[in-house]
Structure 1
Amino acid sequence: MSYEELALLIDGRWTQGTSGKTETVVNPSTNEALGELPLASIADLDEALEASQKGFDVWRKTPAIQRQMIMEKTARLLEERMDVIAANLTREMGKPLKEARMELGAAIDVLRWYGEEGKRVYGRVVPSRITGMRQTVKKEPIGPVIAFVAWNFPAINVMRKVAGAIGAGCSITIKASEETPGTCIAIGRAFMDAGLPAGVLNIVFGDPATISSHLCASDIPRKLSFTGSVPIGKHLQKLAADKMMRCTMELGGHAPVLVFSDADIDAAVRNCVAGKYRNAGQVCVSPTRFLVQEAVYDKFATAFRDQASKLVVGDGLAEKTDMGPLIAERRIEVMENFMADALSNGSNLLTGGERLSNSGSFFAPTVLGDVTDDALIMNEEPFGPIAPISRFSTLDEAIERANRLPFGLAAYAFTKNAKTAAALSSEIQSGMLAINSLMVASAETPFGGIKDSGYGSEGSIEGMETFLTTRFVTEVY
């Protein structure tokens, strides 16, 4: 099975661009080259911007039912191509094939949801104070969109932007990650094969700073959507401000997990181990700080260690693999720095803590015990397979420690006490909170954070709203 043919999508054409420059895409399980990705020139970006304006002029006038039909055809093409796309997602990202298939399935779900919801973008009539006057509120597509996404979920990160924009009647130019381009390109091919008009979707790659600054400086885009780190998100927001461009920012997190003494510990451990090591911990909503009440700390930590140590680490294409590699070599050093700092601050290594192979970017599923809040890993998003566990005494202490960081994307808790659950739902500062599970994302629910984790939502009616503008019209008759 061959890797995806890499190209730019500009104005309905697949092209190698005009820069003559390429970047090698590497399989993180083997460090072997998968292909050469063409990088866009400034001229290519300008062509994409002009195409997005022309595409928007066509697409916004296309009836919503016709837009939905093209999106549904795209979904079916993606389902037909699932095996090939999922395998290539695993090759470029590293995650186990079963996770790649689940991610692609979720992306298709998002596509279908936005396609259907686009048929239900309603305005309203407001009763007038004056006889003979009609007052209407209209919801209309905001205009051409630009989007930038991270590498960790090559299908779902892309689809949340693309399906939301296209479902609302907008065009979109997206720069996916140069480390995981094949999945985005495969999604683009499905859209084009389904009959999407030229210019409605443009896909570019290249130097992130060059592309973002050039696209943001243009008068054509009216909306920017970004998934990635907090520093980059703040930088893009500043660029967008010069053009009064609306933004949606889905930024990093550092999700606390509060485990109370009355919780079902076996269920909590089972959920937390699965969630922590999914995609090797490279998940913005990954559970990252495990705060466990003293009475059940030893039971939780021991069971967590035992389950984590049994995970099979290897090439994501291998049938028995539970956890794949980190995205690249650079992330190994980051994990080693977190480890050295935690151990120097008195943490206990319960399992893992080391690189596993020199032939890929593999790091062992790691569990640290009695980690203090002074440790780096309790303050900076680890984005890797290290689980720090710490003790707490009271509910008030747990809430205070959960809220002490500037992040506010996701948070989790395990308790059977309804009063405790009610207090958490009121006091935990996060855009999403799951109690007795780790479920915080589906096509029909809003996904987004607060504080430094960004603003705006993806998914649900809130996600559609971010691609719409509101107009008020009065008419005397």
Structure 2
Amino acid sequence: MTLDLKNPSLMREAALVGSRWIDADAATGVAVTNPATGDVLGYVPNLGEPETLEAISAAKTAQTAWAARTAKDRGQVLRRWYDLMMENQDDLARILTAEQGKPLAEAAGEIAYGASFIEWFAEEARRAYGDITPGHAPDKRILSVKQPIGVVAAITPWNFPNAMITRKAGPAFAAGCSMVLKPAGQTPFSAIALAILAEKAGIPAGLFSVVTGSAQAIGKAMTQSPIVQKLTFTGSTGVGALLYAQCAPTIKKLGLELGGNAPFIVFDDADLDAAVDGAVIAKFRNNGQTCVCANRIYVQAGVYDTFAEKLAAKVAALPTGNGFDSGIVFGPLIDAAAVAKVSEHVADACAKGAHIVLGGKAHELGGTFYEPTVLTGVTADMAVATEETFGPVAPLFKFQTEAEVVAAANDTEFGLASYFYSRDHARVWRVSEALDYGMVGVNTGLISTAEAPFGGIKQSGLGREGSRHGLDDYLEIKYICMGGIEEENHELG
């Protein structure tokens, strides 16, 4: 497939290990396909433990020199990386759409979103402030300084193959760390393109490696290495728990952004048209394939039928197709397994009494396309109530009271994102404080931004990404106690 890139060098069939590029061999490499067509885009090397250990060793060497540079210097390099990303936004978006499937306009939006983390942390690099604390003794002073944690291992998902990398690499490099990255096997070319631009921006050789291949072998080398001081992972809770256990023997610092089961609540005092628009964004962005997608939509009884009609009408007007085609809003799902899971959730709901208002079946385009779906009459005993669908299915639950819906929304082991619509000022405060989630969107369906702390509680993860707090996740606090500061002895001459 020809991508018609302005800068063809960004599409490279290779991996970066330390300072050396390893080219892919079609006979032994891992094929990367376009989910909209099934066409093979290219191959990446099938690497494993030896190459991962080589990358970790190179990262250790490069990190020492990088950390010794001033924060302003590191920030300037990151700013050049940001500029290059934006200069190549169209090409990066085309690579992303080709391997992930999301519509081209949405892909371009992800590139800008991803670049915003590099821009933000380029500025935050100089703000790793320390403290001076009043001492406990007259002759002592207490200082606290922040220092980079060291070598970081990162494992990123396929649904945001650009932004999930920059959200980790930005603060890591700003803090003075190095990074060895294992990108998702479905979407490695976006990661490789970022590495190419990082080199051009002045990121030193060895500081940033992109290792493709066996997730098991690469992950094992990362988690077992005593050199790696932090592991950051975005993905499922199941895999996150496994990585958590594998990191235990070497006591690594962990950043885990895991699964969600986000509630989206519409109260009867809400602006329904605004709530519908918010639901379309929160539920159907990236075709429902985001960790903060609205998985359960709760609508108060008085507006339930009206909301269902408005949502179905809105979604029905949005076109599905190949992400490269003009005007497309819904692209394909990532693979056949994703289609199977969506189909199972819809079948389970219908078998237990739900009604299909819109969609409900595989799309006539075939392949991994699925019709955007709206279900009514959904109840808590259905799979969509407890499992993350990760697809274009909007299940509508009916509720009567505020207390009832808050209890239902919190009845999950997950705690990533939540949303609700209301124009009652007191209710906004009550519900915001009562929802057991790391993030709450009030009268909005889009909450992700570089300036805000992104992360969850319970089984949705550990730590925060973005905001000033995101930098702290890549720093350690060192306490320095300075003694012997006694009064000067003034003796008479």
TM-score using structure 2 length: 0.95
Alignment correspondent of 2:332: 325
Residue in 2 aligned with 1:151?
158
User: 2:433 matched to 1:426?
Assistant: yes
Give the conservation status (yes or no) of the 8 Å contact 1:94–1:326.
Answer: yes
Q: Give the aligned residue type for 1:39.
A: N
Amino acid in structure 2 at the alignment position of 1:231 = G
Give 1:356's aligned residue. Answer: 363
C-alpha separation in 1, matches of 2:221 and 2:173: 22
Shift, 1:8, TM fit: 1.1
- CA shift for structure 1 position 475: 1.6
Q: Per-residue displacement from partner, 1:195-222 (whole Å, max 9, x unpaired)?
A: 1111111111122122111111111100
> Aligned equivalents of 2:367 and 2:322: distance in 1?
9
Partners of 2:216 and 2:407 lie apart in 1 by 37
The alignment's TM-score, normalised by the length of structure 1, stands at: 0.98
Offset at residue 440 of structure 1 (A) = 2.0
The offset of 1:264, in angstroms, is: 0.3
Separation in structure 2 between the aligned mates of residue 261 and residue 46 of structure 1, nearest angstrom? 57
* Residue 469 (structure 2) aligned to one of 439, 456, 462: 462
Maintained 8 Å contact 2:415/2:438:
yes
Query: Counterpart in 1 of 2:275?
Result: 268
Identify which of 160, 168, 174 aligns with 2:175. Answer: 168
SS across alignment from 2:328 = coil
Q: Distance in 1 between matches of 2:26 and 2:332?
A: 32
Q: Deviations over 1:268-300 (max 9, x none)?
A: 011111331111100100111110000000000
Q: Decide which of 414, 426, 445 is 2:421's aligned counterpart.
A: 414
Q: CA deviation at 1:134?
A: 2.4
Secondary structure (helix, strand or coil) at the match of 2:114 reads helix
Q: After TM superposition, which residue ranges in structure 1, 4 or more long, deviate above 2 angstroms? A: 16-21, 129-134, 357-360
The answer as to whether partners of 1:94 and 1:327 remain within 8 angstroms in 2 is yes
- SS of 1:95's partner is coil
**Which of these residues, 443, 448, 452, is aligned with residue 445 of structure 1?**
452
Higher CA-based Rg: 2
- State whether residues 18 and 43 of structure 1, in contact with CA within 8 Å, keep that contact through their aligned partners in structure 2: no
Helix, strand or coil at the partner of 2:360: coil
Of 93, 107, 129, 1:122 maps to: 129
Residue 247 (structure 2) pairs with residue 243 (structure 1): no
Q: Supply the AA of the counterpart residue of 1:50.
A: S
State the AA in 2 paired with 1:455. Answer: L
Separation of aligned partners in 2, 1:69 and 1:20 = 41
Q: Structure 2: how far apart are the matches of 1:299 and 1:457?
A: 37
Provide structure 2 residue ranges, at least 5 long, that are not aligned to the other structure.
Answer: 486-493
Conservation of the 8 A alpha-carbon contact between 2:110 and 2:163: yes
Deviations 1:12-58 (A, max 9, x none): 22213799831110101101110011121322111101001001111
Q: Within 1, Cα distance between the matches of 2:194 and 2:402? A: 46
Aligned to 2:147: 140
Contact 2:48 2:214 in 1 (8 A): no
CA–CA distance in 1 between the matches of 2:26 and 2:193? 22
Counting matched residue pairs gives 477
Deviation at residue 59 of structure 1 after TM alignment: 0.9
Amino acid at match of 2:23: Q
Does the Cα contact within 8 Å between 1:226 and 1:233 map onto a contact in 2? yes
Deviates more, 1:118-127 or 1:16-25: 16-25
Q: Which residue does 1:290 correspond to in 2?
A: 297
1:47 equivalent among 48, 54, 60: 54
> 2:185, 2:196 → 1: CA distance?
17
- Aligned sequence identity (%): 36
Structure 1: give runs of 5+ residues left out of the alignment: none
Structure 1 residues 193-212: aligned runs within 5 Å: 193-212=200-219
Equivalent residues in 2 for 1:68-83, closer than 5 Å: 68-83=75-90
- Partner of residue 304 from structure 1, selected from 308, 311, 318: 311
Report which stretch shifted further, 149-158 or 438-447: 438-447
Is the contact made by 2:290 and 2:390 (CA closer than 8 Å) also made in structure 1? yes
Counterpart residue number, 1:98: 105
Give the corresponding residue for 1:402. Answer: 409
Distance 2:42 2:51 in 1: 21
SS in 2 for 1:233: helix
Aligned with residue 74 of structure 2, among 67, 71, 74? 67
Deviation at 1:6, TM superposition (A): 2.1
Instruction: Map Cα deviations across residues 291-335 of structure 1 (whole Å, 9 max, x no partner).
Output: 000000000001011111111000111111011000112211111
What residue is the counterpart of 2:491 in the other structure?
Answer: none
Match in the other structure for 2:41: 34
One-letter code of the match for 2:210? I
